[in-house]
Structure 1
């Protein structure tokens, strides 16, 4: 079971997200907090696997909370939540050590996938955010140690950037799902990363998706 906690200053938002989490029996919602400082106190008392944290909060906002959490060597997975698609905040959150960045208008399936993805060690981001990043912002993810991709891999990478799942990619390019999975693994290896989001970020920075 994945232990989850929720940090948001708006009670109605917390209740809504908590209701979505309760639909999945694989999740255990351990506690909730209304701001970053309260969350730090609760983390010290009861650690969890995944934290869902609002970006904008009074007293201590989500970014400040995340920085404080990482300063204490906490390796808890953190997904930042926001109402608006704000690329600057996305970059700031990723630099502070976030494992994901998610818009609040999620349904239960997307929320489930997000929690499971970061729990499994992946990085998560909304495709709409990735498409809005400037070259200067993308320079944060520059990596000289990437290998060239062939035409098939570039085509699959562009679908990954659009948020397609392996099954959706397989349907789009008329390949077996297992073959697509192998291509994705090769793409991640060539781009020197373990997850799809950072692969897309590196590809954008390198101009591979232009």
Structure 2
């Protein structure tokens, strides 16, 4: 398929960004490619319901749906679509969701337009493209055993300064169970104590600093 035959969907809740991305893509792939825009998850799903797209540049910070939920719905409607995620979030468990979903690209919103252009070219040619920070996070994901959702909740409560008995009461679990989760967390994050556990969690994107 010639690039000029490509159908591309841009999803972003800022009109000026959509306009800029449209011009960028037309410069990269030629004016004959078909580019549509959507400013909400509802619009994106509506667009994909009546047109099959080859590539989607997806802003996952939309007001009406979680990014991973929208991504999976788009995949269901357009199984062959290639998706480049555009996000501000660097939390490890969020990025892992996107890798697990099989996206073809991940960009953070501070990348230059030239890198966006590179990503679009690579993905349009059938390759993948992950910005430098996304590649670093992927290596971390491969290195560390990811905590379970329950363990992540215990981690967040430990980081907030709560003690074992308080965490147990809040989560409706026994103190022994909380201590078991804590031991698993220490092992998975290669930490010797709670302070080091929280520090490693922050460094690896498991615990945003805004949450502690």
TM superposition score category, shorter chain reference: 0.5 to 0.7
TM-score (norm 2): 0.57
TM-score by length of 1: 0.57
Alignment-derived partner of residue 162 in structure 1: none
Q: Which has the larger radius of gyration?
A: 2
- Provide the rounded CA distance (Å) in 2 between the counterparts of 1:14 and 1:127: 24
Deviation at 1:91, TM superposition (A): 1.4
Counterpart mapping for 1:137-156 below 5 A = 137-138=141-142
Q: Give the drift of 1:107.
A: 3.9
Following TM superposition, by how much is the alpha carbon of 1:108 offset from its aligned partner in structure 2, in angstroms? 4.2
Q: How far, CA to CA, are the matches of 1:103 and 1:47 in structure 2?
A: 26
Cross-structure match for 1:201: none
SS in 2 for 1:51: strand
Query: What is the Cα-based RMSD across aligned positions, in Å?
Result: 2.6
- Contact 2:28 2:121 (C-alpha < 8 Å) held by counterparts: no
Q: Aligned pair in 2 of structure 1 residues 83, 14: CA closer, same or farther (>3 Å)?
A: farther
Q: Kindly indicate which of the two structures has a greater share of residues assigned to helix.
A: 2
Q: Which runs of 5+ in 1 are unaligned?
A: 142-210
Choose which of 69, 72, 79 in structure 2 pairs with 1:67: 72
Say how many residue pairs are matched.
Answer: 140
Give 1:84 deviation, angstroms: 4.7
Structure 1 residue matching 2:43: 3-state secondary structure: helix
Could you tell me which of 26, 29, 38 is aligned with 2:30?
A: 26
Deviates more, 1:83-92 or 1:70-79: 83-92
Q: Is 1:46 aligned to residue 46 of structure 2?
A: no
Partner of 1:5: 9
